[in-house]
Structure 1
Amino acid sequence: MLAAWVLVVLSGVFTGLLTARTVERGLAVERAQWRSVAAQVTEDAVGSAATESASGLVWAKVRWTAPDGSAHTGQARVYAGTEAGTPVTVWTDRQGRLVTKPATASQAQTRSAMVGVLVGVSAAAVPFVGGRLVRGRLERHRMDQWDQEWARIGPRWGRTTS
């Protein structure tokens, strides 16, 4: 049981820390490689109660020029009522494709910590459940041995020796 608990702690901590570090590193790469680009809305952004989010944003077609000079179009979230020709900021990757705004350093730390905890707990669950199964099997084996011993000794329990 001690070995199971050691595995639970070690697997949870190491897996969680490794995952958190990997997530944070990935988000740092996004921050370094993704760039904000000025784009223009190409059609009026009309929103309805069905298409509008709680923040008042709707999807609209936008056009932008990538760092290599190529023209691109895509869909971006803008405020309902934004007119065609209005400049907006979009985020692109190295190939000029639209991406979400990268996480700030503090958001990245929070995300990586949450993912690390979730993965660490999940990783620790494996040896924990395994230990519980082994413990249950050992307990059943011990109880079977006790029953066998009681079956052998029990009938002689009330006898007195003469």
Structure 2
Amino acid sequence: MAFRGPRVWLWRWRRNPLKRGADVLEAWVVLGAWVLTVLAGVLAGLAVTWSVERELARERVEWRPVVARLTDQAPGTSDAPSQTPRGERVWAEVSWSIADGSAHKGQVRVPPGSTFGAPVTVWTDPEGRLVSKPATASQARLRAALIGGLIGVSVGAVPFVGGRVLRGRLERRRMERWDAEWELLGPLWGRTTG
């Protein structure tokens, strides 16, 4: 294990007669990568969070529950609860009409054995198309925060990885220069003066 002295803060920015141009460049690359990582991640995460939350709020305002009626009897039987798992639902066709009077049909999940004409509450968009029940305000906040966090981390990873790759190339170049200098000076170290 190599010996490491005490950790010195901001060592990349201190004056040092042995510091080379490559060391200064590496310091700027590290600083730039961290600044871009934080800024890009936070800004992208916040923008996506606000966008998702706004879209989910729009859905809560525009989507409406409508009472639809079964157009046929649903498959299965309603009198045998022991044979079907609790909460099981089957697909059945329903019809409904929206405020402008236009009729619509679609497939929804209903309890097994539901009878013809049974009322079923469905959610529709302004055009009368079937949609899922909109997220509540608290569900929307959670969903927006999770999506925003995921996007923020993903976007922030791009400059972070780019900085690591660039720093690795600088390190490789520095090692190649040290090898070239050692080939020139290494043989001289074996000589003695005298």
| Class of the TM-score when normalised by the shorter of the 2 chains | over 0.9
Gaps of 5+ in 1: none
Pick one of 20, 26, 47 that aligns with 1:18. 47
| Inter-CA distance 123–55: structure 2 relative to 1 (3 Å threshold) | farther
Please report the TM-score for the alignment, with normalisation by the length of structure 2: 0.78
SS at match of 1:25: helix
1:55 CA drift (Å): 3.9
Q: 1:135 matched to which residue of 2?
A: 167
Identity %: 59
Aligned residues: 159
SS at match of 2:96: strand
Alignment pair present for 1:112 and 2:141: no
- Structure having the higher Rg: 2
| Inter-CA distance 53–36: structure 2 relative to 1 (3 Å threshold) | farther
Whole-angstrom CA distance in 2 between matches of 1:21 and 1:70? 35
Q: 1:65 matched to which residue of 2?
A: 97
Whole-angstrom CA distance in 2 between matches of 1:34 and 1:97? 10
| RMSD over equivalenced CA pairs, Å | 1.7
Q: 2:130 matched to which residue of 1?
A: 98
Cα deviations by residue, 1:20-66 (Å, 9 ceiling, x for unpaired): 11000000000000000011111122159xxx998412211001111
Q: Which one scores higher on RCO, CA 8 angstroms, separation ≥ 6?
A: 1
Q: 1:2 matched to which residue of 2?
A: 31
**Aligned positions of 1:33-52 closer than 5 A:** 33-47=62-76
Superposition misfits of 4+ residues, deviation over 3 angstroms: 52-55
Give 1 or 2: higher strand fraction. Answer: 1
1:16 alignment partner AA: G
Gaps of 5+ in 2: 1-29, 78-83
Q: 2:191 matched to which residue of 1?
A: 159
Whole-angstrom CA distance in 2 between matches of 1:53 and 1:124? 45
